[in-house]
Amino acid sequence: MLAELAPRLDTSSQAFFRFRQVGTQVLVTNFEGHWALLSPQEFERFATGTVEAGSPLYQRLSDNNFLKATFDTRKAADRLWARRAFLAWGPNLHMLVVTLRCNESCLYCHASRAPMDAVQTDMTRETAEKSVDLALQSSSPAVTIEFQGGEPLVNFPVVKHAIEYAKEKNKVAGKQLEFTMVTNLALMDEEKLQFLLGAKVQICTSIDGPQALHDAQRKLPAGSAHASAAHWIRRINDAYTAMGLDPTLYKVEALLTTTKDTLSLWKEVVDTYVALGCRALFLRPVDPFGWAHKTAARVEYPRQEYLDFYRQSVDYMLELNFKGVQILERYAAIFLSKFFGRDPNFLDVRSPAGAGIGALAYNYDGKIFTSDEGRMLNEMGDRAFEIGDVRTSTYKELMSHPTVRAEVLATVLDGQPDCASCTYNPFCGTQSAHNHKLFGSIYGRMRESTVCAVHKGIQDYLFQRLGEGDPKVLDIFQKWTTSRPREHYLQPLPSA
């Protein structure tokens, strides 16, 4: 487009900008993350320096810091700082893989699960304590300890001990402490549930869609994985209500892994989540880790097919919202929050990314990794993202590790050749472990990256919907970015 305008370009009036055609409009963004959607005629006037001072277009461009004559340095700095505020913190997410054992066998298992008799893959109480000790040394004022597997309920005594130990140690550390657990729920019982509810542990699970699809992908011996998860989702949600918690805010979080068989079932997937009382779903593509690497022929797909699935799903979710059914998509909520000036600090979609400086993963054997994906690669025989051991490493050594430094540099988008000039630079992020797995480099090749294709495609869709100017859509999108604190999950601080 600029090539056509090149003979008439006038760069004396515009401040820094990037641009991209989105549908019938042109999206322009600047360094600090302001944006504007212009018609082709408006973009031509902007690019050729013929926007008339005092016109509505001039005012819109000025308000968003696209004109040199009215550029507000303080406004740009404030917006940039809001986007990068996480740099003042430290790792806030600490993932404890308490076992590799799992009672389900998932077609795409990213965790490289171990069979139920592989007790050697259980984290010990001592390793859990040392992991917690390191987590509470983080320079972040808020710390979330997340229990993962395998299936963490397999090693529930260590989960329970780690929670009690962390609460006691936090009397001195004074962190804003939260606990979460990622579980398939099949081993849940009332005794475990009462402890988790009493300890204020946020519970997350996986629902891959309708029962037939879920059970085909997540096999539970002698039972239905979907029926078990659905039962406990409803039971836990009812328990929150009985505790007097806001039922619109406190729900079991459920995630979806999109496989080839999911793509035609976009309506059924959304309907399944709505029927379970879920108010959010995360349409995650399959990743190339663990068993998914071996079963790619059965689970993988071209990302354009995923993006078609995504558009159909979110269009349907918007229709449901128009009818009063509250359901949102997490990717959309993350990107829209960024568009509207509030960065939710989602670790995989930020610059620099969260590996090492935003999260750490503690394996069952005490080895420490910069991310859960790095830990997954370790189970596949690649130790590239191992940075220490809970028995010997200090917090300072972890934060200054060469791998952490390298990942920070590799995920600053202004240093990525394609990302530096991309219109979505202010809102996006790249994943070094994913790049390493697919391209053999933590920098990757963005033009070939499936993560890049997904991020661009989702943002194209969202800006197209924003550009349509439908007030009902704009209202729903604003609601999807509403951040309400869930204070129930915060552990009480010791009284002064």
Q: Concatenate the DSSP letters of all residues of 221-233 into one string.
A: TTB-HHHHHHHHH
Percentages (nearest 5) of helix, strand, coil residues in the chain: 50, 15, 35
Q: What whole-number distance in Å separates Cα of residue 250 and Cα of residue 208?
A: 21
- Is residue 55 packed enough to be buried (19+ CB in 10 Å), middle (13-18) or exposed (0-12)? exposed
Q: Name the phi and psi angles at 126, rounded to 5.
A: -65, -45
Q: What whole-number distance in Å separates Cα of residue 444 and Cα of residue 455?
A: 15
Q: Within 10 A of 161 (CB to CB), how many other CB atoms are there? A: 17
Decide: 68 and 12 in contact? Cβ < 8 Å.
Answer: yes
* Strand 93-97 with 367-369, pairing: unpaired
CA distances for 361 relative to 62, 95, 101, 264, 278, angstroms? 45, 5, 17, 34, 28
Confidence of residue 292 (pLDDT cuts 50, 70, 90): confident
Q: Which amino acid is at 3?
A: A
C-alpha closest to that of 133 among 393, 402, 489, 399: 393
143 vs 85, more confident = 143
Confidence of residue 182 (pLDDT cuts 50, 70, 90): very high
pLDDT for 406: 97
Evaluate if residue 494 carries a pLDDT over 90. Answer: no
Q: Which amino acid is at 147?
A: F
Decide: 198 and 488 in contact? Cβ < 8 Å.
Answer: no
pLDDT for 496: 46
Q: Name the phi and psi angles at 382, rounded to 5.
A: -115, 110
pLDDT for 164: 98
Decide: 408 and 356 in contact? Cβ < 8 Å.
Answer: yes
Reduce the DSSP state of residue 128 to 3 states and report it: helix
Q: Which residue has the tokens 């404030």?
A: 78
pLDDT for 1: 63
Q: What integer best gives the mean pLDDT of the chain? A: 94
Q: What whole-number distance in Å separates Cα of residue 300 and Cα of residue 288?
A: 9
Q: Which amino acid is at 101?
A: R
Evaluate if residue 174 carries a pLDDT over 70. Answer: yes
pLDDT for 111: 75
pLDDT in tens, 339-394: 999 889 999 999 999 999 999 999 999 999 999 999 999 999 999 999 999 999 99
Burial 194-224 (b: 16+ CB within 10 A, else e): eebeebbbbbbbbbbbbbebbbebbebeeeb
DSSP E strands: which ranges in 89-206? 93-97, 105-106, 142-148, 176-182, 201-206
CATH homologous superfamily for the domain 91-496:
Aldolase class I (3.20.20.70)
pLDDT in tens, 47-72: 999 999 999 999 999 999 999 999 99
Confidence of residue 251 (pLDDT cuts 50, 70, 90): very high
C-alpha closest to that of 123 among 145, 92, 93, 90: 145
Q: What angle do CA 379, 384, 389 make, to 5 degrees?
A: 75
pLDDT for 222: 84
pLDDT for 484: 82
pLDDT for 395: 97
Break the chain into its structural domains and give their ranges: 2-83, 91-496
Q: What whole-number distance in Å separates Cα of residue 211 and Cα of residue 448?
A: 34
Decide: 76 and 128 in contact? Cβ < 8 Å.
Answer: no
Reduce the DSSP state of residue 355 to 3 states and report it: strand
Q: How much is the average pLDDT of 384-408?
A: 97
Evaluate if residue 103 carries a pLDDT over 90. Answer: yes
pLDDT in tens, 6-60: 567 788 899 999 999 999 999 999 999 999 999 999 999 999 999 999 999 999 9
Q: How much is the average pLDDT of 172-176?
A: 96
DSSP E strands: which ranges in 43-82? none
Q: What whole-number distance in Å separates Cα of residue 437 and Cα of residue 455?
A: 18
Q: How much is the average pLDDT of 141-164?
A: 97
pLDDT for 290: 82
The structure's pTM equals 0.95
